[in-house]
Amino acid sequence: MLRKGDVFAGYTIRRVLGHGGMGVVYLARHPRLPRLTALKLLSRDLSADAEIRHRFEREADLVAQLEHPNIVNVYDRGTEDDQLWISMQFVAGTDVATADVNVLTPGRAVQIVAETATALDFAHASGVLHRDVKPANILLAKPPIGRPERVVLTDFGIAAVRDSETTLSSAGSITATLAYAAPEHLAGAPLDHRADQYSLACTLFWMLTGSVPFAGPNPAAVIQAHLSRPVPPLRSLRPDLPPTLDAVLARGTAKRADLRYDSCAEFAEAAKAALFAVPGPWQQMRQPTATGVILRAREPYPPHQYSRPATPPQPYPQAPPHTHVTPAQPHPQPAPPRPSTGNTAVPPRRGTQRRGTIDFPGGRNHPGYIVPPQPRRPP
């Protein structure tokens, strides 16, 4: 166990974030960048297995290419003192396993499942299986002020090195993971994306009830229950939940993978629809924020109650821009005709010369120039 101030692979250890049968996770400072990371060290017995080393490196390389807001980022990997390590994004917050199920409303639970399903489907489309979906691997990131929490799925790649060939007695955490493992995973059959869906459905069962679907005195009893017994009805533990959720969980945890939903998102949408099919207090979808204020998440319309909203009133049509509209006015009456002065000659006064005039349109005459008298020519 490393202590505060120890340096491993260049990373300065701050404190322990968690530990289990697979190894220990430390909060560490990056050797060159001003950034804190989650440094996970695999246990030495797993690091000594050549097959596990190969799978770990391959899966870590695949997960490093997954860029999704609901998937933790993988920064680096390597080997130090014959021990495998991986550097991941540090998510400040908590995980679903440590959340108080007494205040975890059903609406918030299905919202967490929906965001997790988005991350899983994205990984599946990239050819990556998680293989260890459980509450402890679903992080609830501390949100900025006034924003809702963000769900982040972690432990990709690390979980992939633990397959059906791993012995159940090698670590206590493996026994705990059995509570969410798909039957085909436990039976050693080939896996596909529907194995993660089974684990996600078991996780939703835990968030709604505070209990795992199957419990037993030993790993063999838990495995047998996953292989043969149906998931208990939710109302046996939570009578306040709608019965429509039981059918969704029954399909999501079907023993045969081909009887489950085609995708994790389809399972999550079915859970939402079942939750909102019947009005009730379980429809609350409150999410805590950084300020402690409770925000209500957006609730979808129930499928059978949805109706197109009424057409909003249209605004009164206005004149096009830069168009001047003048109000209508009566036509003015024509002006009365003015008497025309024409070219009426004014008799000149004795001793004066005739003054000529210039005619302009409109009947107005203006004084022109003086026209001198012309002498009369003899015939």
pLDDT single digits (tens) 96-119: 998 887 888 999 999 999 999 999
Higher-pLDDT residue of 332, 57: 57
Mean pLDDT, residues 156-181: 54
pLDDT band at residue 52 using 50, 70 and 90 as cut-offs: confident
| Residue 312 predicted with pLDDT over 80 | no
Distances in Å between the Cα of 349 and the Cα atoms of 352, 353, 355, 369 are: 6, 8, 11, 17
Residue with the larger pLDDT of the pair 379 and 214: 214
| 357 and 368 Cβ atoms separated by less than 8 Å | yes
What lies within 8 Å, CB to CB, of 14 at 6+ separation is: 4, 26, 27, 28, 29, 36
- Calculate mean pLDDT across residues 204-218: 93
Mean per-residue pLDDT, 248-263: 97
What is the model's pLDDT at position 323? 46
Residue 61 appears among annotated catalytic residues: no
Using an 8 Å Cβ cutoff, are 185 and 191 in contact?
yes
Q: What is the pLDDT of residue 102?
A: 80
In this model, does residue 198 exceed pLDDT 80?
Answer: yes
In the predicted model, is pLDDT for residue 62 greater than 90?
no
Q: What is the pLDDT of residue 340?
A: 52
Instruction: At 112, give phi and psi (nearest 5°).
Output: -60, -40
- 355-360 vs 364-370, strand pairing mode: antiparallel
pLDDT-derived band of residue 350, with 50, 70 and 90 as boundaries?
A: low
Pick out the residues of the known binding site for ATP: 40
Average pLDDT of every residue of the chain: 77
Helix or strand or coil: residue 360? strand
pLDDT at 359 exceeding the cut of 90: no
What pLDDT digit, counting tens, does each position of 125-158 carry? 998 899 999 999 999 998 877 777 899 999 875 5
Please tell me which residue in 121, 132, 155, 196 is annotated as part of the active site: 132
Looking at residue 115, what is its pLDDT?
Answer: 97
Is the Cα torsion angle 289, 291, 292, 297 positive or negative in sign?
negative
Q: Who has greater pLDDT, 145 or 231?
A: 231
- The DSSP H or E segment spanning 172 is helix 172-177
Helix or strand or coil: residue 314? coil
- pTM value surpassing 0.95: no
Percent of residues in the chain assigned helix, strand, coil, to nearest 5: 30, 20, 50
pLDDT (mean) for 5-28: 90
How far is residue 273's CA from residue 197's CA, in Å, rounded to a whole number? Answer: 17
Residue 379: predicted pLDDT:
52
**Listed residue (70, 123, 106) closest to 210, CA to CA:** 106
* Structure-model confidence comparison of residues 145 and 2, the more confident one: 2
- Model confidence at 159, pLDDT cuts 50, 70, 90, reads low
Confidence band of 338 (pLDDT split at 50, 70, 90): low
* 215: three-class secondary structure by DSSP: coil
Least confident span in 288-297, 316-325, 337-346 = 288-297
Q: Does residue 305 have a pLDDT over 80? A: no
pLDDT at 344 over 60: no
Residue bearing the bigger pLDDT, 260 or 1: 260
- Tell me which of 344 and 302 has the higher pLDDT: 344
Q: Is 70 exceeded by the pLDDT of residue 330?
A: no
- Of 42-51, 70-79, 184-193, the poorest mean pLDDT is in 42-51
- Give the residue, 364 or 99, on which the prediction is more confident: 99
Question: Which tops the pLDDT comparison, 67 or 22?
Answer: 67
- Structural domains of the chain sorted by starting position, each given as residue range(s) with its CATH number in brackets: 1-90 (3.30.200.20), 91-162+171-281 (1.10.510.10)
Of 160, 139, 174, 165, the residue nearest 84 (C-alpha):
160
